Structure 1
Amino acid sequence: MNDASAKATGFPWPVALFDLDGTLVDSASDIAASVNRLLAELGHAQVDEATVRSWIGDGARQLITKALRHAGDGRDVETVMPRFMQHYRDCLLLDPQIYPEVPETLQALRAAGVRMAVCTNKPAPFVGPLLEALDLAQYFDAVLGAGELPERKPHPLPLLHLAAHFGVDIGQCLMVGDSSADAGAAIAAGAPLVLVTYGYRRDFDLHGCGARAVIDRFGQLLAL
């Protein structure tokens, strides 16, 4: 891979913040499995992975809210969240896939002295184990998942929190993501934004939201 084989000495930002699902890792099949286990338990029909992909990105509660709505189930989402979280835990490492060029690119950025963090709406208890299992944890100086702060993306607080953690202005923190939640958080915080095309963007207009770049391959980060 040409982009990631070169040392990223010219990378313009000292800090890079990365979304997880849909940006670094394709975990949709595992998330779909956990949703379907819950739906089966509640007596509902299974849904295909493509449908679940269209629900990912806004956090676990929104995911299950959409699943219940799809099934015509009117119960309060809070009554089923404990069961879903158990299914989520059980399915976490069934078949997660690192997107192409991710390890090489993260290694190049780290070699160039860029500090990096994961900023995700995935429930915090599951973020560390997933990164460890995929041998990605070594690249990150900080990891922030849903539930660790009062707000989650698209609220700017997670990004601002990480900027403060690194002791830099938010304008020095590049946000790399794939969804409207990532874009909304970056824009609200005042962080530069790069979006990837291969993630869970749903019907979000990647090119019309003001991102610095929209990339088809993760390794293209090194050419920015």
Structure 2
Amino acid sequence: MTRKAILFDFDGTIADTAPDLARALNRQRIARNQPLLPIELVRTVASAGARGLLNLGFGLTPDNPDYQAMREEFLSFYAEQLCQDTRLFPGIPELLEQLDEQAILWGIVTNKPARFTRPLMHLLGLHHRAACVISGDDTAYTKPHPEPLLTACRQIDAAPDHCIYLGDDIRDVQASLAAGMKPIVALYGYLGDSDPPETWGAFELISHPGDLLHYI
């Protein structure tokens, strides 16, 4: 397996999903007479999914007896308005066009559940172009475990050491390194609330999707 490929995280890397995630969280807060959280605050934990957002919005962790019910409510609200304000990041359409023109395979590897990833890929017009889409419940483990990335490699017949993985969270870098790939950090993404991206051990950091072309 020698073909090259580019793999992408989804939330905070390919698509700006934070507005719709924030809407679902704020619906929960409104129902409990709590003030709205600003989108800027939600963006910092959007890549952490329901777990991170419920911790931000209500201080809930998975060991809290109310967590599961709140998680199901959040996911239900999110599913109702899945792609109202979600958009591809500026520069992503042009980057993907360049990859397609150069016949470079690209795919998605995300911790986002397939019930959301698959319809979003359709709604954003990407479903027929991606060489693979690995969602958070498609493998036994999620990032930072390398299994999702290695599964993607097997699906597209690409060697891990010939792949670049672009993500916006420290778990993306950890999973990429464990899989034997080159991790690149999308500084335009959400980045979480962990240590600065410069300390994550990535191969490179980019400020715009188009910068990725320099490393292909």
TM over 0.5: yes
| 2: CA distance, partners of 1:155 / 1:13 | 23
* Structure 2: segments with no counterpart, 5+ residues: none
Q: 1:1-224 counterparts in 2 under 5 A? A: 14-69=4-59, 75-203=65-193, 204-224=195-215
Q: Take 2:152 and 2:190, find their aligned partners in 1: how far apart are those partners?
A: 23
TM-score by length of 1: 0.86
Residue deviations 1:29-76 (CA, integer Å, cap 9, x gap): 111001111222344332111221122222323332442207xxx543
SS of the residue corresponding to residue 181 of structure 1 reads helix
**What SS does structure 2 have at the residue aligned with 1:118?**
strand
How many residues are treated as equivalent by the alignment? 211
Give yes or no for contact 2:118–2:127 (8 Å, CA) kept in 1. Answer: yes
Structure 1 unaligned runs (5+)? 1-11
In structure 2, C-alpha distance between the alignment counterparts of 1:183 and 1:158, rounded to whole Å: 13
Q: TM-score, normalized by length of structure 2?
A: 0.89
Measured in 2, the distance between the counterparts of 1:120 and 1:133 equals 17
RMSD: 2.1
Aligned equivalents of 1:192, 1:104: Cα separation in 2:
22
Contact 2:3 2:158 in 1 (8 A): no
8 Å CA contact 2:108, 2:132 repeated in 1: yes
Question: What is the distance in 2 between the residues matched to 1:75 and 1:49?
Answer: 27
CA distance in 2, matches of 1:217, 1:185: 22
Q: Measured at CA, do residues 75 and 40 of structure 1 come closer, stay the same or move farther in structure 2, by a change above 3 Å?
A: farther
- 1:67 and 1:216 mapped to 2: Cα distance? 29
- Please identify, of 160-169 and 18-27, the stretch whose mean Cα deviation from structure 2 is larger: 160-169
Query: Residues of 2 paired with 1:31 and 1:22: CA distance?
Result: 12
Tell me if structure 1 keeps the 8 A contact 2:132–2:156: no
Identity %: 30
